[in-house]
């Protein structure tokens, strides 16, 4: 049996009790029902890009979703696209951009599968997948029945959804409404990064990929900075009064709730004295050489090395600024 380190981008994680690799929607349903029927622990695995798995796993049955299929139906404003959960996210972005569709081009280069995209409402440069998902098909762990869940019932928030909040089961396919558009409707964050000139979705995709490459945010076997889960901590959302007490140079952004503001986790880490390329002596984990928000595997890290560094960062940021950083990846088996 292969260890989970073979299937996760952080490249840590021990050997599971079993590993199934369903290729079709029906196989995925059958595989889940079989494992759930045993009452043993289970994990739905996509591309393993948002998981840190323990070195010694308790009895854990892994279902690695490899279902494929993209069905595109044109509508007057663009297209409704239904994508099976195991499709690669970035290949789907490339596919939709090539079809002249806009809505997810700023999410180019994010690793993982389409089925995992709603789980933490993936986002980058001000675009979020919640803005374009219409509904998903879901196999519910509690009822063992399939159901359609509409966008409004997914409780999407910043890196958050009903699936992260504890609704257990498997996302079978995701449906998107994308717009046929010659130019990308740029968010303020995208304008900040790319400028405000008119650009086609394809141009935006190329430029986003290039920016992400520079930051080690596109998977690359030979670049240890990408042996990570991307950003390890979410940007903390704190009371506005607390944000006002932060040094002026700390970037902050308004959120929907006017009493709160979002702070830059990268700034907090950097200003707590933990910069790029930082490692605890003897550890195989370190912050990326390109930015301090990614915890990376420098080659021989254990899951314990990764968590030790995460805790070290949390304690230092909390001591310096009184802010609690919350890990973005799912911690499995600890
Ligand atoms: C280099 C790098 C850059 C990144 N950049 C970004 C970024 O810019 N923005 C961003 O938001 N994220 C980013 N991430 C995080 C990650 O890519 C996303 O969270 C991605 O959606 C995870 O997909 P996955 O298939 O790898 O999920 P996995 O890591 O395999 O699983 C993540 C979670 O989803 C669950 N899950 C997976 N598939 C299903 C399914 N079909 N049904 C139900 N639950 C499921 C798993 O059980 C787990 O809880 C980055 C990661 C890396 C390594």
CATH code at 75? Answer: 3.30.465.10
Residue 303 has a pLDDT of 98
- 3-class secondary-structure state, position 287: strand
Residue nearest to atom 39 of ligand 1 (CA): 116
pLDDT tier for residue 141 given thresholds of 50, 70 and 90: very high
pLDDT of residue 58: 84
* Pairing outcome for strands 60-64 and 18-20: parallel
Q: Which residue among 164, 192, 214 closes a domain? A: 214
Residue 232 and residue 305 in one domain: yes
Query: Which of 19, 42, 64 is where one domain is finished?
Result: 64
Containing domain of residue 23, as a range? 4-64
Q: How is residue 168 written in tokens? A: 């257990």
* 75 and 200 share one domain: yes
- Helix/strand/coil for 238: strand
Ligand 1, atom 50: nearest CA belongs to which residue?
230
Please report, rounded to a whole number, the percentage of residues in the chain having pLDDT higher than 90. 98
CB atoms inside a 10 Å sphere around CB 283: 18
For the domain that residue 17 is a member of, what is the CATH number?
3.30.43.10
Percent of the chain with pLDDT over 70: 100
Residue in 60, 109, 110, 132 to alter for ligand 1 test, most ligand atoms within 8 A of Cβ: 110
Residue 172's closest CA among 143, 134, 135, 142? 135
Same domain, 206 and 322: no
Asked if residue 72 lies in contact with residue 165, where contact means CB atoms within 8 angstroms, the answer is no
Q: What pTM value is reported for the model?
A: 0.96
Sign of CA dihedral 328, 43, 107, 213: positive
Residue 297 shares a structural domain with residue 263? yes
Q: Are residues 191 and 306 in the same domain?
A: no
Ligand 1, atom 19: nearest CA belongs to which residue? 50
**Ligand 1 binding pocket includes 83 (Cβ within 6 Å):** no
Query: Is the distance from CB of 227 to CB of 288 less than 8 angstroms?
Result: no
What are 292-331's pLDDT values in tens digits? 999 999 999 999 999 999 999 999 999 999 999 999 999 9
Q: Which of 64, 83, 105 is the last residue in one of the domains? A: 64
Same domain? For 204 and 271 the reply is no
pLDDT (tens digit per residue) in 150-186: 999 999 999 999 999 999 999 999 999 999 999 999 9
Number of separate domains in the chain: 3
Look at residue 226 and give its three-state secondary structure: helix
Ligand 1 contact via 84 beta carbon (within 6 Å): no
Shared domain for 105 and 164, answered yes or no, is yes
Confidence of residue 59 (pLDDT cuts 50, 70, 90): confident
């Amino acid at each position: 049996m292969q260890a989970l380190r073979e299937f996760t981008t952080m490249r840590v994680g021990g050997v599971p009790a079993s590993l199934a690799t369903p290729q079709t929607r029906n196989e995925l349903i059958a595989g889940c029902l079989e494992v759930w029927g045993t009452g043993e622990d289970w994990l739905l695995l996509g591309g393993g890009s948002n998981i840190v798995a323990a070195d010694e796993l308790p009895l854990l049955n892994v279902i690695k979703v490899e279902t494929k299929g993209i069905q595109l139906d044109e509508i007057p404003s663009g297209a409704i696209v239904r994508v099976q959960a195991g499709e690669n996210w970035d290949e789907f972005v490339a596919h939709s951009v090539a079809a002249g569709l806009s809505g997810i081009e700023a999410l180019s280069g994010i690793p993982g599968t389409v089925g995992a995209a709603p789980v933490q409402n993936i986002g980058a440069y001000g675009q979020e997948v919640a803005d374009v998902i219409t509904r998903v098909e879901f196999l519910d762990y509690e009822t063992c029945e399939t159901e359609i869940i509409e966008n409004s019932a997914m409780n999407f928030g910043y890196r958050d959804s009903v699936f992260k909040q504890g609704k257990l089961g498997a996302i079978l396919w995701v449906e998107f409404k994308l717009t046929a558009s010659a130019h990308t409707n740029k968010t303020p964050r995208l304008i900040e990064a790319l400028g405000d000139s008119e650009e086609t979705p394809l141009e935006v995709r190329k430029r986003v990929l290039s920016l992400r490459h520079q930051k080690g945010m596109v998977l690359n076997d030979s670049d240890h900075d990408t042996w990570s889960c991307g950003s390890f901590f979410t940007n903390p959302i704190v009371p506005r009064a607390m944000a006002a007490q932060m040094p002026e140079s700390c970037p902050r952004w308004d959120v929907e709730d006017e009493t709160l503001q979002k702070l830059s986790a990268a700034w907090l880490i950097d200003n707590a004295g933990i910069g790029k390329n930082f490692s605890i002596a003897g550890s195989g984990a370190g912050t990326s050489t390109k930015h301090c928000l990614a915890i990376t595997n420098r080659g021989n890290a254990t899951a314990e090395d990764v968590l030790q560094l995460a805790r070290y960062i949390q304690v230092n940021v909390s001591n310096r600024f009184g802010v609690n950083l919350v890990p973005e990846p799912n911690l499995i088996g600890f």
